[in-house]
Amino acid sequence: MNKYIFVTIFFILLLCINSNLFSQTEDKWTNIDSYENLDGEWEGKAISLVKINNFNTEFVSLLNVSMTFNYKKGDTIVSSIVKYDFADFLKDLENIKEMKENGHTKESIWKIFRGMLENGFFSFDQYSLSYNNSGLASEYFASDSEGDFLINKYRDTLLLIYFKPAFILGIGDSGFTEMIFRKKLTFM
C-alpha cells in the first residue's frame, strides 16, 4: 500500500514541476514596437563553430561571441561593441599534433591570426578582438530581410534572429543565426 501512495505522490509532484517549468519558459516574443522599451545596456552571447581542414584530421572548435549595446531613450544612435574571444579556440588549436610538432604555442598562433585579421577595423586584446558595431537605431533594431529583433513580454530579454549566418570572420567560422540579449540591471 505504501509503495502505491509513494508512486502516486511522485507522479503528481513530477506533473506539477513539469507544468510549472513549461509555464515559466513560455515567452511571448513580439517585434519591437517602441525603442523606449530598449532604454539601457544589453548583453548578448553566441557561439560560432570553427572548422578547419588544413590538418590530417578535421579541426573543430568554438569561438565565443558577445555583443553589448547601449541605447538611451530619445537617441538616434545605438552604441555597440562585438567581441570574439579566441582563448578556448587557441587552446584547442595548440593541442593539435602538427601544431605541437612545429613548436607553435597559444601566443604564436594568436600572432598568426592577428596578422590575418589586422586591418584597422578590429581592436585587439589578449586572445580577443572587438569592433564597433554602432549605428542608427532605426536600422539597428529594424526587422528586415536580414533578420528580426524580438522582445519578450517582460521587456527584459531580446532575441536577435538572422535568416542566414552573420558575423563571420572568414577563418572557417560559421557565424551564428541567433543571439539572446539580457538587459543589464543598474542600481542607483
Q: So what's the pLDDT on residue 55?
A: 58
pLDDT means over runs of 10, the chain (188 residues): 50 49 61 83 96 77 96 92 96 90 94 88 94 91 85 92 93 93 82
Q: Are 94 and 110 in contact (CB under 8 A)?
A: no
Q: So what's the pLDDT on residue 112?
A: 92
Q: Cell triple for residue 122? A: 578590429
First to last CA, the chain: 58
Q: So what's the pLDDT on residue 26?
A: 54
pTM score = 0.79
Q: So what's the pLDDT on residue 179?
A: 95
The structural domains of the chain, with segments of one domain joined by +, span 31-183
